[in-house]
Amino acid sequence: MRNFNKVRIINCKARENEGKAMQKLLQRKADGTEISIAFDPDMSGAWKTYRKAMEVNDDADFLILMEDDISFPIDVLQRMDHILDSAPRDGWIFFYVPTNGEMQKALESGKHVLKAKGNWWPQVTAIPKASRLEFLSVIDNYFPEHSKSGDGRILRYFYEHNVFGHTIIPSLFQHLGTWRSALGYNGKVGQYVRNSFCYSPDFNVYEIDWKNEFENPYKDNQVRPLGWAKWKVGMPTDGYNDGGFQK
């Protein structure tokens, strides 16, 4: 691929066989891209596994991380590569679209990129090289290594370092783990089910002017509280000052 050389599958103990099946599916259209699995038998989708996935030697502009409970079209890597041709080299690109109000508004507006610091889900993420190295160098100063998910870490990093996420709409992936989260999450977030409302395996990405989409995204300016970041990594939030996220 032009924009990435490696795809790392975040594989937890509860879905070890599914991770291997994903690897075989992706390898059918890998075109020389390395598809490998990050697996730790003692951790179920936790930060330790995410860190292992990112600690690889890689000189490409982006490193692709995929969680092990998703479905996708067989040529998805080629489609992602085409989109990344136009993506900013300092932004994180999210290819999974969660179900929530702002994502729905973005789709209804005809936009194909939602830009935000707090509204994204990391089921499938393209992490820019420079940001990945910086992220790994500072993130364990915020939270203990053993605390569970990576979401809160990414959120804290985005706000502290003025980094943005760009979600590609509609979704090239569907989340299959809605009601069987390895971390014990509920199948809903408030009123919304934890899968994508706009999964579109037939989405023709080659018809879209992606340069224009990244330059003129749908902007979600909602502010996430710091307490949310702490909750996502399994830490107590009582009495914590959320002001640090009001930048």
Return the pLDDT at 6.
98
Residue at 32 is within a domain: yes
Return the pLDDT at 90.
92
Closest CA to 158 of 196, 122, 109, 111: 122
- Give the chain's length: 247
Residue at 244 is within a domain: no
Return the pLDDT at 150.
83
Residue at 245 is within a domain: no
Residue at 237 is within a domain: no
Return the pLDDT at 181.
61
Return the pLDDT at 89.
94
> 46 is in which domain, residue-wise?
4-221
Instruction: Kindly list the averaged pLDDT for each block of 10 residues, start to end, along the chain of length 247.
Output: 96 86 96 93 74 92 94 97 97 96 97 96 94 89 79 90 96 80 60 81 98 98 78 67 46
Structural domain count, the chain: 1
Residue at 227 is within a domain: no
Residue at 231 is within a domain: no
Six-digit token string for 126: 């393209």
CA–CA gap between residue 10 and residue 37 (Å, rounded): 6
DSSP string, 166-181: EEESSBS-EES-TT--
Return the pLDDT at 123.
93
CA–CA gap between residue 247 and residue 175 (Å, rounded): 31
Residue at 226 is within a domain: no
CA–CA gap between residue 11 and residue 50 (Å, rounded): 9
Residue at 153 is within a domain: yes
State how far Cα 206 lies from the chain centre.
22
Contact of 164 with 119, CB cutoff 8 Å: no
Return the pLDDT at 235.
77
How many helices (H) and strands (E) are present in the chain, helices listed first? 8, 12
Closest CA to 147 of 31, 84, 234, 86: 234
Contacts of 10 (CB under 8 A, 6+ apart): 38, 45, 49, 50, 53, 65, 66, 67, 68
Question: Cα-flanking dihedrals φ and ψ of residue 39, to 5°?
Answer: -140, 135
CATH of the domain at 179: 3.90.550
